[in-house]
Amino acid sequence: MGNTAILNASEENNVVITDWQERHEAIESEREQIRNLVRGKEIHNEYFIPAKPKPNIRDTEPKNVAVYARVSTLSTDQTSSIENQTLYYEKKVSENPNWTMSEIFSDTGKSGTSLRHRDAFNKMMLAAKDKKMDLILCASVSRFARNMTDCLEQISKLKTMNPSHPIGVYFETENIYTLDPDSEQSLHIHAMLADWESANKSRRMILSFNQRILIGQYPVADLLGYRHTRDGQLIIQPDEAITVKYIFFAYIGGHSYDDIAAVLTEKRRPTLKGRIEWNGGMVKNIMSNERRWGALEARKRIVVDYKRRVTVKNNNQRDSAYVPYHHEGIVTHEIAKAVKCIADSSKQLKGGISDIAVIECGALKGFVGVHPGWGGINKDVLNNLCRSIYDNDEIKKIDELFEILAGNRSSGGKITDMAGYRVAPGIYFLNKNMPALTITRNNLKFNKVCHERLNNCEYIEILYHPILKMIVVREAEPEMTNAVCWKTDGKIINIIGAKYFTKAIYDNMQWITDYRFKFRGITKERGTSVLLAFYLDEAQILTDKTLKETDDIYSAVRYIPYKVQEAENTVDFELELHHKRDKIISSLNEADILKKGKIVINPMIGNVPNRDEIQAQLNELIAAM
């Protein structure tokens, strides 16, 4: 039994070995047949068509040849470079009997990192689309493009935009002909190197700016009114300075950008580049450059994408500097500040510098008159101007009021028996037949009754007392620079733009800016004169639906927190303040209502010429043009 099993196993092994040998012999036999078939085949095929030789820049086929040249700056050195390239390629093409010059395309002072503004390059691509050339000669890959993506895309476009008429580019420095398929890898490498070099140049320029700014060597350039020296000084050019001065003085005198541009165009005043046609945008740009008033801001804008030439305002992303008195200004810093304030003002401003007046005596002593659209005011300006006309004893009392308002002291216990009570604000009794003023973050809005109470006059003056928290409105003469137009062509104006004025009020009252505030007007008539008064701490609070009220845990009444910070002892302050205001209103006489304020210097601007002086200066400048 055991021997039989061993015999069977041996037979099985012999079968496996035999099968493997048969398969191996079959494969080898097939291979041998293939070898014999190939060895016995004659190398001859009447249907075989050999491929053309690889494209070569030196072939003898006739070609229309274009040339592309580019330099990145307008320097004199690169001007000679572009001329040398032109002469060189004109000679090169003329010496080749198979070449005919099609056109030379030259971009001067254009960066190779982008196709934008490269007019000659884009013109060349349009000509290529129309099959006006067979070959483009270019000194190097970096002259063609420093952006790897642009380089490869445009070369691919030249080869494929007309498949039956591919156009090659020959880069002489790298000895690359783009129609040669063997050149593709080399082209990619050199395109990448050109791109890398451009990025490296951008980094070097950033480092150079950092170093120069750090040691005070600020970059300067020529601009209208100035020429720069090698050591970075700006020298005034007298004739050009006339144009610059006229722009500033005309603007603070009440003329618009377009009006100024029209005069400069009429007088044929040239720009830095010799242009004599002006527009409002050009006028505005002249006044926005700090170098015109003697300051210098280095690195105002920075490049965030050197390939697309995208720039943004430098918000401390990179080193910068501001030198307020770097060189002699064509105009003063004060005039420059006045320009900015006017530019920030609302469109309802009559034009030019708005006067600020403070009433020095009488019942309205301390009230400040200013056009509500004037951009040159804030809370501190109004408070300081109001305080400026009081004597030391009066200032001491004013400071006591501020201490009470801040919650740092009580009014002395004079009304402690009134603890827990407040004056009932007149706003609680407001109805449609009463004059009303609504103050928002950007506007003053008067209802129709206000116009009726002031006899539907055309102009008004708005007076503000920041300490008494009181606004007074009275009729004004049209020639006053702070007069507010209240009626035009028989149509009343209800809403007055007052962004900076209302911000000053919100800041002074510590109101939360999400709310609007409505006030009842108190009418006072004395003789033929009328005045409207509004108490700013007696307001109806107007909220949006999205704003939520909060619960006062001490009362069932819904309470709206409308101030940024609530002061203690406000009951004492409100009663005393209310008493003072009532006393002022009751003591008014017609002389008080008609009392004009004293024109004062705006501390935000400083001393600037008055309107007569501005007009005299403009007359001199016009005569000098």
Q: What is the CATH number for 114? A: 3.40.50.1390
Q: What is the per-residue pLDDT for 546? A: 47
> Do 86 and 104 form a contact (C-beta atoms < 8 A)?
yes
Which residue, 321, 344, 367, sits at the end of a domain?
A: 344
pLDDT, position 42: 66
Mean local confidence (pLDDT), 495-519: 92
User: Are 362 and 264 contained in the same domain?
Assistant: no
Give yes or no for residue 310 having a pLDDT over 80. no
In angstroms, rounded to a whole number, what is the distance separating the alpha carbons of residues 108 and 78?
8
What DSSP string describes 179-233? TSGGGHHHHHHHHHHHHHHHHHHHHHHHHHHHHHHHTT------BTTEEE-TTS-
CB 548 within 8 A of CB 487: no
The overall average pLDDT reported for the chain is: 84
For residue 524, the cross-strand partners are 531
Choose the weakest-confidence range: 166-170, 251-255, 352-356, 403-407: 403-407
Per-state percent for the chain, helix, strand, coil, to nearest 5: 40, 20, 40
d(CA 448, CA 433): 9
Q: Is residue 371 part of a domain?
A: yes
Residue 46's identity, in one-letter code, is: E
pLDDT of residue 80 exceeding 60, the answer is: yes
Q: Are residues 176 and 154 in the same domain?
A: yes
Structure tokens at 614: 């501005």
Find where tokens 């020095």 sit. 360
pLDDT for residue 251 is more than 90: yes
CA distance linking residue 98 with residue 57, whole number of Å: 11
Residue 114 pLDDT > 60, yes or no? yes
The whole domain housing 507 covers: 356-600
pLDDT band of 527, cuts 50, 70, 90: very high
Whether 154 is in a domain gets the answer: yes
Does 404 lie in the same domain as 280? Answer: no
Tokens read off for 37: 């078939």
**What is residue 510's DSSP assignment?**
T
Q: What is the mean pLDDT of the segment spanning 445-463? A: 95
CB 349 within 8 A of CB 374: yes
Residue 619 has pLDDT above 90, yes or no: yes
User: Quick one: average pLDDT of 461-467?
Assistant: 94
Tokens representing 413?
Answer: 């216990």
Neighbours of 427 (CB within 10 A): 18
pLDDT the model gives residue 547: 46
Tokens representing 286 are: 């002249």
Whether residue 403 sits in one domain with residue 424? yes
Report yes or no on 607 lying in a domain.
Answer: no
- pLDDT value at 116 more than 50: yes
Calculate mean pLDDT across residues 211-236.
87
Q: What's the distance, CA 349 to chain centroid?
A: 24
Are 381 and 268 within one domain?
no
Query: How far is residue 502's CA from residue 508's CA, in Å, rounded to a whole number?
Result: 10
264 shares a domain with 190? no
Do both 502 and 406 map to the same domain?
yes
- 241: CATH: 3.90.1750.20
Nearest to 463 by CA among 351, 584, 573: 584
Residue 372 contacts residue 463 (beta carbons within 8 Å): no
Q: Looking at residue 275, what is its pLDDT? A: 93
Q: How confident is the model at residue 220 (pLDDT cuts 50, 70, 90)?
A: confident
- 460 and 571 both lie in a single domain: yes
Residues 496 and 440 in one domain: yes
Range with the poorest average pLDDT among 173-177, 522-526, 565-569: 565-569
Number of domains present in the structure of the chain: 3
The pLDDT of residue 137: 95
What is the structure's pLDDT at 226?
96
531 is a domain residue? yes
Is the residue at 294 inside a domain? yes
Residues 6+ apart with CB under 8 A from 314: 299, 300, 301, 302, 320
Do both 371 and 334 map to the same domain? no
Q: Which SS3 state, helix, strand or coil, does residue 461 take?
A: strand
Quick check: 407 pLDDT over 70? no
Of the pLDDT bands very low, low, confident and very high (cuts 50, 70, 90), residue 581 is confident
Neighbours of 348 (CB within 10 A): 15
Q: Are 571 and 304 in contact (CB under 8 A)?
A: no
Q: How far apart are CA 342 and CA 293, in angstroms?
A: 16
d(CA 348, CA 388): 28
- Regarding whether 534 and 417 lie in a shared domain, the answer is yes
Whether the pLDDT of residue 362 is over 60: the answer is yes
Asked whether residue 151 is domain-assigned, the answer is: yes
Angstrom distance (rounded) from CA 621 to CA 519: 49
**Phi, psi for 232 (deg, rounded to 5):** 85, 20
pLDDT at 316: 82
CA 135 from chain center: how many Å?
A: 45
Phi, psi of 445 (to 5 degrees): -125, 120
Distance CA 179, CA 177 (A): 6
Average pLDDT, stretch 473-494? 90
- Give ∠ CA 546-549-550 in degrees, rounded to 5: 140
Last residue of a domain, one of 323, 344, 365: 344
Between residues 313 and 100, the one the model is more confident about: 100
CA distances to 326, 391, 479, 481 from 611, in Å: 29, 31, 12, 10
- Asked which of 141-150, 279-288, 335-344, 577-586 is least confident by mean pLDDT, the reply is 577-586
Residue 202 to residue 307: CA distance in whole angstroms = 10
The reply to whether 293 and 373 lie within a common domain is no
Give the span between the Cα atoms of 330 and 461, in whole angstroms: 35
DSSP states along 334-352: HHHHHHHHHHHS-TTS-SS
**Domain finish residue from 344, 371, 393:** 344
Which tokens belong to 360?
């020095």
Residue 378 included in any domain? yes
Residue 266 confidence (pLDDT) above 70 = yes
Alpha carbon distance 436, 430 (integer Å): 8
In the structure, what pLDDT confidence band is assigned to residue 231 with cuts at 50, 70 and 90?
confident
Q: Report whether 367 contacts 464 (CB < 8 A).
A: yes
User: Does a structural domain hold residue 258?
Assistant: yes
